[in-house]
A and B are shown apart, each in its own frame.
Chain A
Amino acid sequence: MSIDKDTVVRIARLSRIAMEDDALEPMAEELNGILAWVEQLSEVDTEGVEPMTGAIAATLPQRDDDAEAGTATDDLLANAPEADDGFFVVPKVVE
Protein backbone atom coordinates (compact mmCIF):
# COMPACT_ATOMS: atom_id res chain seq x y z
CA MET A 1 0.00 0.00 0.00
CA SER A 2 1.32 3.40 -0.94
CA ILE A 3 0.00 6.82 -0.07
CA ASP A 4 0.35 9.72 -2.50
CA LYS A 5 -0.12 13.43 -1.97
CA ASP A 6 -3.77 13.36 -3.12
CA THR A 7 -4.59 10.71 -0.55
CA VAL A 8 -3.03 12.83 2.19
CA VAL A 9 -5.16 15.79 1.08
CA ARG A 10 -8.26 13.61 1.13
CA ILE A 11 -7.77 12.02 4.55
CA ALA A 12 -6.74 15.37 6.02
CA ARG A 13 -10.02 16.83 4.84
CA LEU A 14 -12.01 13.84 6.14
CA SER A 15 -10.31 14.33 9.51
CA ARG A 16 -10.80 18.11 9.45
CA ILE A 17 -7.08 18.69 9.72
CA ALA A 18 -5.73 21.77 7.96
CA MET A 19 -2.40 21.09 6.23
CA GLU A 20 -0.01 23.46 4.47
CA ASP A 21 0.87 22.46 0.91
CA ASP A 22 4.55 22.01 1.69
CA ALA A 23 3.70 19.60 4.52
CA LEU A 24 1.87 17.16 2.24
CA GLU A 25 4.87 15.40 0.66
CA PRO A 26 6.70 14.86 3.97
CA MET A 27 3.43 13.56 5.51
CA ALA A 28 2.97 11.11 2.62
CA GLU A 29 6.53 9.81 3.17
CA GLU A 30 6.01 9.53 6.90
CA LEU A 31 2.72 7.64 6.49
CA ASN A 32 4.28 5.30 3.93
CA GLY A 33 7.05 4.57 6.38
CA ILE A 34 4.54 3.65 9.08
CA LEU A 35 2.53 1.49 6.69
CA ALA A 36 5.64 -0.33 5.47
CA TRP A 37 6.60 -1.09 9.04
CA VAL A 38 3.11 -2.39 9.91
CA GLU A 39 3.07 -4.30 6.63
CA GLN A 40 5.56 -6.77 8.15
CA LEU A 41 2.62 -8.24 10.07
CA SER A 42 1.20 -9.61 6.84
CA GLU A 43 4.11 -12.07 6.74
CA VAL A 44 2.30 -14.04 9.45
CA ASP A 45 -0.11 -16.60 8.05
CA THR A 46 -3.50 -15.90 9.69
CA GLU A 47 -5.57 -18.07 7.34
CA GLY A 48 -8.51 -19.50 9.29
CA VAL A 49 -7.57 -17.74 12.55
CA GLU A 50 -10.39 -15.84 14.30
CA PRO A 51 -9.59 -12.16 14.93
CA MET A 52 -8.24 -11.66 18.45
CA THR A 53 -10.16 -9.02 20.33
CA GLY A 54 -8.24 -8.98 23.55
CA ALA A 55 -5.43 -10.54 25.52
CA ILE A 56 -7.74 -11.97 28.15
CA ALA A 57 -10.93 -13.95 27.70
CA ALA A 58 -13.60 -11.37 28.49
CA THR A 59 -17.16 -10.83 27.35
CA LEU A 60 -18.85 -7.55 26.60
CA PRO A 61 -20.12 -6.04 29.85
CA GLN A 62 -23.79 -5.06 29.69
CA ARG A 63 -26.00 -2.69 31.67
CA ASP A 64 -29.66 -3.03 32.69
CA ASP A 65 -32.23 -0.77 31.06
CA ASP A 66 -32.46 1.67 33.98
CA ALA A 67 -32.66 5.33 33.05
CA GLU A 68 -30.95 7.90 35.25
CA ALA A 69 -31.28 11.65 34.97
CA GLY A 70 -29.03 13.20 32.36
CA THR A 71 -26.19 15.58 33.20
CA ALA A 72 -27.42 19.01 34.32
CA THR A 73 -27.83 21.12 31.18
CA ASP A 74 -25.68 23.97 32.58
CA ASP A 75 -22.82 21.57 33.28
CA LEU A 76 -23.22 20.02 29.86
CA LEU A 77 -23.03 23.38 28.15
CA ALA A 78 -20.28 24.78 30.39
CA ASN A 79 -17.52 24.22 27.83
CA ALA A 80 -19.60 25.01 24.76
CA PRO A 81 -18.19 27.91 22.70
CA GLU A 82 -21.72 29.28 22.67
CA ALA A 83 -25.03 28.23 24.19
CA ASP A 84 -28.50 29.65 23.77
CA ASP A 85 -31.56 28.67 25.75
CA GLY A 86 -30.29 25.16 26.43
CA PHE A 87 -28.91 24.54 22.94
CA PHE A 88 -25.33 24.16 21.79
CA VAL A 89 -24.73 26.84 19.17
CA VAL A 90 -22.41 26.13 16.24
CA PRO A 91 -21.66 27.90 12.96
CA LYS A 92 -24.47 27.52 10.44
CA VAL A 93 -24.38 24.07 8.83
CA VAL A 94 -26.74 23.42 6.00
CA GLU A 95 -26.32 20.56 3.59
Chain B
Amino acid sequence: MSADGYRVRGRDGEWEIAVGLEVHAQVISEAKLFSSAPTAFGAEPNTQVSLVDAAMPGMLPVINRHCVTQAVRTGLALEAEINLTSVFDRKNYFYPDLPPGYQISQYSRPIVGEGRVVLDLEDGSQRTIGITRLHLEMDAGKSIHDRRADATCVDLNRAGVALMEIVSEPDIRSPEEAGIYLRKLRSILRYIGTCDGNMEQGSLRADVNVSVRRPGDELGTRCEVKNLNSVRFVMRAIEVEAERQVAVREDGGEIELETRLFDAERGETRSMRSKEEAHDYRYFPDPDLLPLTLDPAWVEAERARLPELPDARKARFMADYGLSAYDAGVLVAEREIAEYFEAVTAGRDGKQAANWVTGTLFGALNRAGIGIEQSPVSAAALGALIDRVADGTVSNRAAKDVFEAMVSTGKDADAIIEEQALRQVSDEGAIEALVNQVIADNPDKVADFRGGKTKLMGWFVGQVMKASGGKANPKAVNQALRAKLDG
Protein backbone atom coordinates (compact mmCIF):
# COMPACT_ATOMS: atom_id res chain seq x y z
CA MET B 1 0.00 0.00 0.00
CA SER B 2 1.52 3.31 -1.05
CA ALA B 3 1.76 6.34 1.21
CA ASP B 4 -1.21 8.25 -0.19
CA GLY B 5 -3.15 5.36 -1.64
CA TYR B 6 -5.93 5.00 0.92
CA ARG B 7 -9.29 6.27 -0.28
CA VAL B 8 -12.78 5.89 1.07
CA ARG B 9 -15.03 5.10 -1.86
CA GLY B 10 -18.19 7.15 -1.54
CA ARG B 11 -21.33 7.08 -3.60
CA ASP B 12 -20.00 9.78 -5.87
CA GLY B 13 -16.24 9.69 -5.85
CA GLU B 14 -13.33 9.10 -3.53
CA TRP B 15 -12.35 10.72 -0.26
CA GLU B 16 -9.02 11.06 1.50
CA ILE B 17 -8.68 10.78 5.25
CA ALA B 18 -6.50 12.77 7.64
CA VAL B 19 -5.88 11.30 11.06
CA GLY B 20 -4.06 12.50 14.16
CA LEU B 21 -3.52 10.42 17.29
CA GLU B 22 -3.49 11.45 20.92
CA VAL B 23 -1.74 8.70 22.82
CA HIS B 24 -1.88 8.48 26.60
CA ALA B 25 1.18 6.63 27.81
CA GLN B 26 1.46 5.73 31.47
CA VAL B 27 4.89 6.71 32.80
CA ILE B 28 6.96 3.95 34.39
CA SER B 29 7.61 5.18 37.93
CA GLU B 30 7.37 3.85 41.47
CA ALA B 31 5.27 6.71 42.82
CA LYS B 32 2.56 8.91 41.34
CA LEU B 33 3.10 12.24 39.56
CA PHE B 34 2.20 14.50 42.50
CA SER B 35 2.12 12.10 45.47
CA SER B 36 4.12 9.24 46.95
CA ALA B 37 1.39 6.59 46.58
CA PRO B 38 2.53 3.51 44.62
CA THR B 39 1.60 2.88 40.99
CA ALA B 40 1.57 -0.96 40.78
CA PHE B 41 -1.20 -2.37 38.60
CA GLY B 42 -3.86 -4.73 39.92
CA ALA B 43 -3.86 -3.91 43.65
CA GLU B 44 -7.02 -4.17 45.78
CA PRO B 45 -9.30 -1.14 45.27
CA ASN B 46 -8.35 2.07 47.07
CA THR B 47 -5.19 0.66 48.64
CA GLN B 48 -2.76 2.87 46.70
CA VAL B 49 -4.28 6.26 47.34
CA SER B 50 -2.68 9.13 49.22
CA LEU B 51 -4.62 12.01 50.69
CA VAL B 52 -3.36 14.10 47.75
CA ASP B 53 -4.88 11.67 45.23
CA ALA B 54 -8.17 11.69 47.14
CA ALA B 55 -8.08 15.53 47.12
CA MET B 56 -8.53 15.87 50.84
CA PRO B 57 -8.64 19.53 51.92
CA GLY B 58 -5.26 21.18 52.37
CA MET B 59 -3.26 18.63 50.44
CA LEU B 60 -0.68 20.04 48.03
CA PRO B 61 0.89 18.40 44.99
CA VAL B 62 4.69 17.94 44.86
CA ILE B 63 6.03 16.81 41.50
CA ASN B 64 7.95 13.53 41.11
CA ARG B 65 11.28 14.43 39.46
CA HIS B 66 11.61 10.97 37.89
CA CYS B 67 8.36 11.51 35.94
CA VAL B 68 9.82 14.77 34.62
CA THR B 69 12.94 12.90 33.52
CA GLN B 70 10.83 10.23 31.82
CA ALA B 71 8.91 12.88 29.85
CA VAL B 72 12.13 14.59 28.78
CA ARG B 73 13.70 11.28 27.72
CA THR B 74 10.61 10.51 25.66
CA GLY B 75 10.75 13.94 24.05
CA LEU B 76 14.41 13.43 23.16
CA ALA B 77 13.67 10.01 21.66
CA LEU B 78 10.95 11.64 19.52
CA GLU B 79 13.59 14.13 18.30
CA ALA B 80 11.50 16.84 19.86
CA GLU B 81 12.11 20.29 21.22
CA ILE B 82 12.39 20.27 25.04
CA ASN B 83 10.79 23.32 26.62
CA LEU B 84 13.02 24.56 29.43
CA THR B 85 10.05 26.24 31.05
CA SER B 86 6.66 24.57 31.15
CA VAL B 87 3.51 25.22 33.14
CA PHE B 88 0.91 23.04 34.85
CA ASP B 89 -2.73 23.96 34.35
CA ARG B 90 -6.00 22.79 35.80
CA LYS B 91 -8.41 21.18 33.38
CA ASN B 92 -11.78 21.47 35.10
CA TYR B 93 -14.54 18.91 34.83
CA PHE B 94 -16.74 16.92 37.18
CA TYR B 95 -16.61 13.18 37.25
CA PRO B 96 -16.70 10.87 40.29
CA ASP B 97 -13.29 9.34 39.54
CA LEU B 98 -11.65 12.79 39.56
CA PRO B 99 -11.82 13.86 43.23
CA PRO B 100 -10.34 17.39 42.90
CA GLY B 101 -12.81 18.35 40.15
CA TYR B 102 -9.84 19.12 37.90
CA GLN B 103 -7.01 17.25 36.26
CA ILE B 104 -3.53 18.74 36.60
CA SER B 105 -2.29 18.86 33.02
CA GLN B 106 -0.30 21.14 30.74
CA TYR B 107 -2.12 23.31 28.25
CA SER B 108 -0.42 26.27 26.62
CA ARG B 109 3.14 25.46 27.71
CA PRO B 110 3.83 21.71 27.54
CA ILE B 111 7.18 20.18 28.58
CA VAL B 112 7.89 18.88 25.05
CA GLY B 113 7.23 20.61 21.72
CA GLU B 114 7.44 19.53 18.10
CA GLY B 115 9.11 16.25 17.20
CA ARG B 116 8.71 13.40 14.75
CA VAL B 117 8.31 9.66 14.28
CA VAL B 118 9.51 7.94 11.09
CA LEU B 119 7.33 5.08 9.84
CA ASP B 120 8.52 2.17 7.72
CA LEU B 121 5.61 1.35 5.43
CA GLU B 122 4.86 -2.08 4.02
CA ASP B 123 6.08 -1.18 0.54
CA GLY B 124 9.51 -0.31 1.96
CA SER B 125 9.04 3.47 1.78
CA GLN B 126 9.16 5.77 4.80
CA ARG B 127 6.87 8.51 6.05
CA THR B 128 7.48 11.05 8.76
CA ILE B 129 4.63 11.82 11.13
CA GLY B 130 4.94 15.10 13.00
CA ILE B 131 4.59 15.21 16.78
CA THR B 132 2.80 18.36 17.91
CA ARG B 133 3.58 18.12 21.61
CA LEU B 134 3.96 15.91 24.64
CA HIS B 135 2.67 16.98 28.00
CA LEU B 136 2.60 15.54 31.50
CA GLU B 137 -0.69 15.05 33.32
CA MET B 138 -2.22 12.93 36.04
CA ASP B 139 -4.52 10.01 35.35
CA ALA B 140 -8.04 9.79 36.80
CA GLY B 141 -9.37 6.93 38.91
CA LYS B 142 -11.55 4.15 37.59
CA SER B 143 -15.36 4.13 37.54
CA ILE B 144 -16.92 0.70 37.55
CA HIS B 145 -20.47 0.73 36.25
CA ASP B 146 -21.24 -2.97 36.05
CA ARG B 147 -20.45 -3.98 39.62
CA ARG B 148 -23.75 -2.72 41.00
CA ALA B 149 -26.99 -2.14 39.12
CA ASP B 150 -27.97 0.90 41.20
CA ALA B 151 -24.66 2.71 41.60
CA THR B 152 -21.19 3.41 40.25
CA CYS B 153 -18.17 2.17 42.19
CA VAL B 154 -14.98 4.22 42.22
CA ASP B 155 -11.41 2.97 42.68
CA LEU B 156 -8.80 5.71 43.01
CA ASN B 157 -5.67 3.51 42.74
CA ARG B 158 -4.94 4.92 39.29
CA ALA B 159 -5.81 8.50 40.25
CA GLY B 160 -2.66 10.61 40.08
CA VAL B 161 -0.49 8.17 38.14
CA ALA B 162 1.67 10.09 35.63
CA LEU B 163 0.64 10.08 31.99
CA MET B 164 2.36 11.47 28.95
CA GLU B 165 -0.10 12.66 26.34
CA ILE B 166 1.63 12.48 22.97
CA VAL B 167 -0.21 14.36 20.24
CA SER B 168 0.55 13.82 16.56
CA GLU B 169 -0.10 16.13 13.65
CA PRO B 170 -2.97 15.06 11.34
CA ASP B 171 -0.33 13.52 9.04
CA ILE B 172 -1.65 9.95 9.06
CA ARG B 173 -3.40 8.97 5.82
CA SER B 174 -4.70 5.43 6.34
CA PRO B 175 -5.73 3.01 9.11
CA GLU B 176 -2.58 0.99 8.34
CA GLU B 177 -0.36 4.02 8.92
CA ALA B 178 -2.12 4.64 12.23
CA GLY B 179 -1.33 1.06 13.24
CA ILE B 180 2.31 1.39 12.21
CA TYR B 181 2.58 4.72 14.04
CA LEU B 182 1.19 3.29 17.25
CA ARG B 183 3.47 0.24 17.10
CA LYS B 184 6.50 2.42 16.38
CA LEU B 185 5.69 4.78 19.22
CA ARG B 186 5.22 1.83 21.55
CA SER B 187 8.55 0.38 20.44
CA ILE B 188 10.37 3.67 21.15
CA LEU B 189 8.74 4.03 24.59
CA ARG B 190 9.72 0.48 25.49
CA TYR B 191 13.30 0.95 24.26
CA ILE B 192 13.83 3.90 26.57
CA GLY B 193 11.79 2.38 29.41
CA THR B 194 9.38 5.28 29.89
CA CYS B 195 6.17 3.28 29.33
CA ASP B 196 5.60 -0.48 29.29
CA GLY B 197 3.23 -0.16 26.33
CA ASN B 198 0.78 -2.70 27.74
CA MET B 199 -2.47 -1.88 25.96
CA GLU B 200 -4.55 -4.58 27.71
CA GLN B 201 -3.74 -3.07 31.10
CA GLY B 202 -4.39 0.41 29.76
CA SER B 203 -0.80 1.68 30.01
CA LEU B 204 -1.17 2.88 26.43
CA ARG B 205 -4.48 4.22 25.15
CA ALA B 206 -5.26 6.22 22.05
CA ASP B 207 -7.81 8.79 20.96
CA VAL B 208 -8.02 9.31 17.20
CA ASN B 209 -9.01 12.49 15.39
CA VAL B 210 -10.49 11.66 12.00
CA SER B 211 -11.55 13.94 9.15
CA VAL B 212 -12.31 13.35 5.47
CA ARG B 213 -11.87 15.55 2.39
CA ARG B 214 -11.99 15.41 -1.36
CA PRO B 215 -8.44 14.84 -2.66
CA GLY B 216 -6.66 18.19 -2.77
CA ASP B 217 -9.15 20.00 -0.51
CA GLU B 218 -8.44 21.61 2.85
CA LEU B 219 -8.76 19.45 5.99
CA GLY B 220 -12.39 18.80 6.93
CA THR B 221 -13.96 19.11 10.39
CA ARG B 222 -12.70 16.35 12.64
CA CYS B 223 -14.33 14.03 15.13
CA GLU B 224 -12.51 12.51 18.05
CA VAL B 225 -12.98 8.80 18.81
CA LYS B 226 -11.92 8.19 22.39
CA ASN B 227 -10.32 5.48 24.45
CA LEU B 228 -9.13 2.82 22.03
CA ASN B 229 -7.09 0.14 23.74
CA SER B 230 -5.66 -1.95 20.91
CA VAL B 231 -3.96 -1.36 17.58
CA ARG B 232 -6.75 -3.29 15.88
CA PHE B 233 -9.45 -1.09 17.42
CA VAL B 234 -7.58 2.06 16.41
CA MET B 235 -7.45 0.90 12.79
CA ARG B 236 -11.06 -0.27 12.75
CA ALA B 237 -12.39 2.87 14.45
CA ILE B 238 -10.67 5.08 11.85
CA GLU B 239 -12.15 3.01 9.05
CA VAL B 240 -15.74 3.11 10.28
CA GLU B 241 -15.59 6.75 11.41
CA ALA B 242 -14.26 7.83 7.98
CA GLU B 243 -17.05 5.89 6.27
CA ARG B 244 -19.63 7.51 8.51
CA GLN B 245 -18.32 11.00 7.73
CA VAL B 246 -18.32 10.32 3.99
CA ALA B 247 -21.94 9.16 4.18
CA VAL B 248 -22.96 12.29 6.12
CA ARG B 249 -21.16 14.61 3.68
CA GLU B 250 -22.52 12.90 0.60
CA ASP B 251 -26.04 13.27 1.99
CA GLY B 252 -25.39 17.00 2.16
CA GLY B 253 -24.78 17.07 5.90
CA GLU B 254 -22.06 18.75 7.92
CA ILE B 255 -19.62 17.08 10.27
CA GLU B 256 -19.84 18.51 13.76
CA LEU B 257 -16.79 18.73 15.96
CA GLU B 258 -17.58 16.14 18.63
CA THR B 259 -16.35 13.28 20.74
CA ARG B 260 -17.45 9.78 19.82
CA LEU B 261 -17.14 6.29 21.26
CA PHE B 262 -16.19 3.18 19.29
CA ASP B 263 -18.39 0.13 19.69
CA ALA B 264 -16.21 -2.79 18.61
CA GLU B 265 -19.05 -5.32 18.59
CA ARG B 266 -21.28 -3.29 16.32
CA GLY B 267 -18.39 -1.82 14.37
CA GLU B 268 -19.65 1.77 14.65
CA THR B 269 -18.93 5.03 16.42
CA ARG B 270 -21.51 6.84 18.54
CA SER B 271 -21.77 10.39 19.78
CA MET B 272 -20.58 10.53 23.37
CA ARG B 273 -21.73 13.85 24.74
CA SER B 274 -24.70 15.95 23.86
CA LYS B 275 -23.93 19.40 22.49
CA GLU B 276 -24.89 21.38 25.58
CA GLU B 277 -22.42 19.28 27.55
CA ALA B 278 -19.62 20.16 25.11
CA HIS B 279 -16.14 20.51 26.62
CA ASP B 280 -15.52 23.66 28.50
CA TYR B 281 -12.52 22.86 30.60
CA ARG B 282 -11.74 26.42 31.71
CA TYR B 283 -7.99 25.80 31.87
CA PHE B 284 -5.97 28.06 34.11
CA PRO B 285 -2.48 27.79 35.65
CA ASP B 286 -2.51 25.66 38.79
CA PRO B 287 -1.73 28.07 41.64
CA ASP B 288 -0.32 25.14 43.69
CA LEU B 289 2.54 24.59 41.24
CA LEU B 290 5.29 26.93 40.09
CA PRO B 291 6.45 26.68 36.48
CA LEU B 292 8.76 23.72 35.84
CA THR B 293 12.21 24.84 34.73
CA LEU B 294 14.89 22.56 33.34
CA ASP B 295 18.65 23.04 33.21
CA PRO B 296 19.83 22.83 29.58
CA ALA B 297 23.02 20.99 30.66
CA TRP B 298 20.88 18.35 32.39
CA VAL B 299 18.76 17.94 29.25
CA GLU B 300 21.92 17.38 27.19
CA ALA B 301 23.16 14.83 29.71
CA GLU B 302 19.85 12.95 29.37
CA ARG B 303 20.20 13.06 25.59
CA ALA B 304 23.65 11.47 25.86
CA ARG B 305 22.27 8.74 28.13
CA LEU B 306 19.57 7.57 25.71
CA PRO B 307 20.05 4.00 24.51
CA GLU B 308 20.31 3.07 20.83
CA LEU B 309 16.83 3.60 19.36
CA PRO B 310 15.00 1.29 16.91
CA ASP B 311 15.84 3.30 13.76
CA ALA B 312 19.55 3.46 14.54
CA ARG B 313 19.65 -0.20 15.51
CA LYS B 314 17.88 -1.21 12.30
CA ALA B 315 20.41 0.70 10.20
CA ARG B 316 23.23 -0.97 12.12
CA PHE B 317 21.76 -4.47 11.69
CA MET B 318 21.50 -3.88 7.93
CA ALA B 319 25.05 -2.53 7.66
CA ASP B 320 26.82 -4.91 10.07
CA TYR B 321 24.95 -8.17 9.52
CA GLY B 322 23.82 -7.73 5.91
CA LEU B 323 20.15 -8.14 6.89
CA SER B 324 17.27 -7.05 4.66
CA ALA B 325 15.26 -4.01 5.74
CA TYR B 326 12.36 -6.33 6.48
CA ASP B 327 14.31 -8.74 8.72
CA ALA B 328 16.09 -5.90 10.47
CA GLY B 329 12.73 -4.18 11.08
CA VAL B 330 11.24 -7.34 12.61
CA LEU B 331 14.28 -7.86 14.84
CA VAL B 332 14.46 -4.31 16.23
CA ALA B 333 10.74 -3.80 16.92
CA GLU B 334 11.12 -5.14 20.45
CA ARG B 335 14.20 -4.33 22.44
CA GLU B 336 14.24 -7.82 24.00
CA ILE B 337 14.20 -9.49 20.58
CA ALA B 338 16.96 -7.25 19.28
CA GLU B 339 19.12 -8.09 22.29
CA TYR B 340 18.41 -11.82 21.95
CA PHE B 341 19.34 -11.68 18.27
CA GLU B 342 22.59 -9.84 19.00
CA ALA B 343 23.54 -12.49 21.54
CA VAL B 344 22.78 -15.27 19.04
CA THR B 345 24.70 -13.67 16.21
CA ALA B 346 27.81 -12.70 18.20
CA GLY B 347 30.72 -14.25 16.28
CA ARG B 348 28.32 -15.98 13.85
CA ASP B 349 26.75 -15.33 10.48
CA GLY B 350 24.10 -12.60 10.77
CA LYS B 351 21.72 -13.91 8.12
CA GLN B 352 21.81 -17.44 9.54
CA ALA B 353 21.10 -16.12 13.00
CA ALA B 354 18.27 -13.92 11.66
CA ASN B 355 16.68 -16.91 9.89
CA TRP B 356 16.81 -18.99 13.05
CA VAL B 357 15.35 -16.23 15.22
CA THR B 358 12.62 -14.94 12.90
CA GLY B 359 11.72 -18.36 11.49
CA THR B 360 12.28 -21.29 13.81
CA LEU B 361 12.33 -19.52 17.16
CA PHE B 362 9.37 -17.19 16.45
CA GLY B 363 7.43 -20.22 15.20
CA ALA B 364 8.02 -22.05 18.47
CA LEU B 365 7.19 -18.96 20.58
CA ASN B 366 3.99 -18.34 18.63
CA ARG B 367 2.89 -21.94 19.05
CA ALA B 368 3.49 -21.70 22.78
CA GLY B 369 1.91 -18.24 22.92
CA ILE B 370 4.84 -16.76 24.86
CA GLY B 371 7.21 -13.84 24.46
CA ILE B 372 10.94 -13.95 23.95
CA GLU B 373 11.57 -13.34 27.67
CA GLN B 374 10.08 -16.78 28.37
CA SER B 375 11.89 -18.51 25.50
CA PRO B 376 12.74 -22.09 26.51
CA VAL B 377 15.88 -21.82 24.39
CA SER B 378 18.39 -19.20 25.50
CA ALA B 379 20.33 -17.11 23.00
CA ALA B 380 23.53 -18.92 23.99
CA ALA B 381 21.92 -22.34 23.45
CA LEU B 382 20.58 -21.36 20.03
CA GLY B 383 24.01 -20.00 19.11
CA ALA B 384 25.62 -23.32 20.07
CA LEU B 385 23.15 -25.18 17.81
CA ILE B 386 23.98 -22.88 14.89
CA ASP B 387 27.67 -23.68 15.48
CA ARG B 388 26.89 -27.40 15.09
CA VAL B 389 25.32 -26.71 11.70
CA ALA B 390 28.24 -24.54 10.65
CA ASP B 391 30.85 -27.17 11.58
CA GLY B 392 28.89 -29.94 9.83
CA THR B 393 27.99 -31.93 12.94
CA VAL B 394 24.29 -31.85 12.04
CA SER B 395 22.47 -31.11 8.80
CA ASN B 396 20.21 -28.08 8.59
CA ARG B 397 17.22 -30.36 8.56
CA ALA B 398 18.30 -32.39 11.56
CA ALA B 399 19.07 -29.12 13.34
CA LYS B 400 15.36 -28.24 13.19
CA ASP B 401 14.62 -31.52 15.05
CA VAL B 402 17.34 -30.77 17.56
CA PHE B 403 15.76 -27.34 18.11
CA GLU B 404 12.32 -28.85 18.73
CA ALA B 405 13.89 -31.24 21.25
CA MET B 406 15.64 -28.29 22.92
CA VAL B 407 12.27 -26.54 23.22
CA SER B 408 10.55 -29.56 24.76
CA THR B 409 13.37 -30.79 27.03
CA GLY B 410 15.35 -27.66 27.81
CA LYS B 411 18.58 -29.58 27.12
CA ASP B 412 21.40 -28.16 25.04
CA ALA B 413 22.12 -29.02 21.42
CA ASP B 414 25.15 -31.27 22.02
CA ALA B 415 23.31 -33.45 24.52
CA ILE B 416 20.39 -33.96 22.14
CA ILE B 417 22.61 -34.67 19.15
CA GLU B 418 24.33 -37.43 21.15
CA GLU B 419 21.16 -38.85 22.70
CA GLN B 420 19.22 -39.04 19.48
CA ALA B 421 22.26 -39.98 17.38
CA LEU B 422 21.53 -37.11 15.02
CA ARG B 423 25.18 -36.55 14.24
CA GLN B 424 25.51 -36.04 10.53
CA VAL B 425 27.42 -38.73 8.62
CA SER B 426 30.14 -37.08 6.58
CA ASP B 427 32.41 -40.13 6.52
CA GLU B 428 33.14 -40.82 2.86
CA GLY B 429 33.38 -44.61 3.24
CA ALA B 430 30.02 -44.88 4.95
CA ILE B 431 28.32 -42.64 2.41
CA GLU B 432 29.91 -44.49 -0.50
CA ALA B 433 28.54 -47.76 0.85
CA LEU B 434 25.03 -46.30 0.97
CA VAL B 435 25.39 -44.88 -2.55
CA ASN B 436 26.56 -48.25 -3.89
CA GLN B 437 23.61 -49.98 -2.30
CA VAL B 438 21.07 -47.54 -3.81
CA ILE B 439 22.67 -47.86 -7.25
CA ALA B 440 22.74 -51.65 -7.06
CA ASP B 441 19.04 -51.77 -6.02
CA ASN B 442 17.83 -49.55 -8.86
CA PRO B 443 19.46 -50.53 -12.17
CA ASP B 444 16.49 -49.22 -14.23
CA LYS B 445 16.70 -45.72 -12.67
CA VAL B 446 20.48 -45.72 -13.23
CA ALA B 447 19.92 -46.52 -16.91
CA ASP B 448 17.31 -43.74 -17.20
CA PHE B 449 19.69 -41.27 -15.59
CA ARG B 450 22.54 -42.18 -17.88
CA GLY B 451 20.11 -41.99 -20.79
CA GLY B 452 19.60 -38.28 -20.06
CA LYS B 453 16.99 -38.06 -17.27
CA THR B 454 19.35 -36.05 -15.08
CA LYS B 455 16.43 -34.79 -12.99
CA LEU B 456 16.58 -38.19 -11.24
CA MET B 457 19.56 -36.89 -9.25
CA GLY B 458 17.18 -35.48 -6.65
CA TRP B 459 15.49 -38.87 -6.33
CA PHE B 460 18.84 -40.62 -5.78
CA VAL B 461 19.84 -38.07 -3.11
CA GLY B 462 16.51 -38.67 -1.40
CA GLN B 463 17.02 -42.45 -1.41
CA VAL B 464 20.51 -42.19 0.08
CA MET B 465 19.32 -39.71 2.73
CA LYS B 466 16.46 -42.06 3.59
CA ALA B 467 18.85 -45.01 3.85
CA SER B 468 21.03 -42.98 6.22
CA GLY B 469 18.06 -42.11 8.43
CA GLY B 470 18.42 -38.46 7.42
CA LYS B 471 21.88 -38.25 8.91
CA ALA B 472 24.06 -38.24 5.79
CA ASN B 473 25.64 -34.94 4.84
CA PRO B 474 23.66 -33.98 1.69
CA LYS B 475 26.67 -32.29 0.12
CA ALA B 476 28.82 -35.40 0.50
CA VAL B 477 25.96 -37.57 -0.81
CA ASN B 478 25.67 -35.38 -3.88
CA GLN B 479 29.38 -35.59 -4.58
CA ALA B 480 29.51 -39.37 -4.16
CA LEU B 481 26.46 -39.90 -6.37
CA ARG B 482 27.85 -37.71 -9.13
CA ALA B 483 31.13 -39.59 -9.06
CA LYS B 484 29.34 -42.94 -9.40
CA LEU B 485 26.58 -42.05 -11.85
CA ASP B 486 28.53 -39.77 -14.19
CA GLY B 487 31.52 -42.06 -14.18
Interface residues of chain A, those whose CB is within 8 Å of chain B, are 10, 14, 16, 53-54, 58-71, 73, 76-77, 82, 84-95
Contact = CB atoms under 8 A, between A and B. Distances in A.
Nearest to B70: A65
Contacts of A89: 148, 151-154
B290 A54 contact: yes
A70 B50 contact: yes
A77 to B, nearest CB: 7
A76 B145 CA distance: 21
Interface residues of B, number: 52
B39 A53 contact: no
Contacts of B155: 86-88
Contacts of B145: 92-94
A14 B213 CA distance: 34
A50 to B, nearest CB: 9
A49 B238 CA distance: 44
Q: Pick the 7 closest A-B CB pairs, nearest first.
A: A65-B66, A87-B153, A67-B38, A62-B65, A88-B154, A86-B45, A67-B30
B148 A84 contact: yes
A95 B482 CA distance: 78
Contact of B45 (A58, A67, A87): A87
A71 to B, nearest CB: 6
A14 B93 CA distance: 8
Given A73-B47, A90-B96, A63 B293 contact: no
Contacts of A94: 145, 152
B49 A71 contact: yes
Nearest to A16: B94
Interface in B235-285: 261, 272-273, 280, 282, 285
Contact of B46 (A53, A76, A90): A76
A53 B293 CA distance: 12
Given A71-B49, A73-B47, A76-B46, A66 B30 contact: yes
Contacts of B46: 70, 73, 76-77, 86-88
15 contacts: A14-B92, A59-B293, A60-B289, A60-B290, A61-B62, A71-B37, A71-B54, A73-B49, A76-B54, A84-B153, A87-B154, A88-B154, A90-B96, A90-B151, A93-B152
Interface string B192-216: 0000000000000000000000000
Contacts of B68: 62
Contacts of B150: 92
A92 B153 CA distance: 8
Interface of B: 29-31, 36-39, 44-51, 53-54, 62-68, 92, 94-96, 143-145, 147-148, 150-157, 261, 272-273, 280, 282, 285, 289-293
Given A59-B290, A68-B36, A87 B147 contact: yes
Given A16-B94, A65-B64, A91 B49 contact: no
B51 A71 contact: yes
Contact of B49 (A64, A76, A82, A84): A76
Given A64-B66, A76-B46, A90 B154 contact: yes
B380 to A, nearest CB: 34
Contacts of A62: 62-65, 68
B152 A63 contact: no
Contacts of A91: 151-152
Contact of B37 (A10, A59, A70, A73): A70
Contact of B152 (A71, A77, A92): A92
A86 B44 contact: yes
A7 B451 CA distance: 101
A34 B289 CA distance: 26
Nearest to A62: B65
Interface centre among A54, A70, A76, A93 (most CB of B within 10 A): A70
Contacts of B261: 95
A65 B34 CA distance: 10
Given A68-B31, A70-B53, 13 more contacts: A53-B291, A66-B31, A68-B38, A68-B50, A84-B151, A86-B44, A86-B46, A87-B154, A91-B152, A92-B151, A93-B143, A94-B152, A95-B273
Nearest to A69: B38
B31 A65 contact: yes
Contacts of A93: 95-96, 143, 145, 152
A6 to B, nearest CB: 11
A60 B30 contact: no
A88 B96 contact: yes
B147 A67 contact: no
A69 B31 CA distance: 10
B417 to A, nearest CB: 50
A89 to B, nearest CB: 5
Contact of B156 (A63, A67, A82, A88): A88
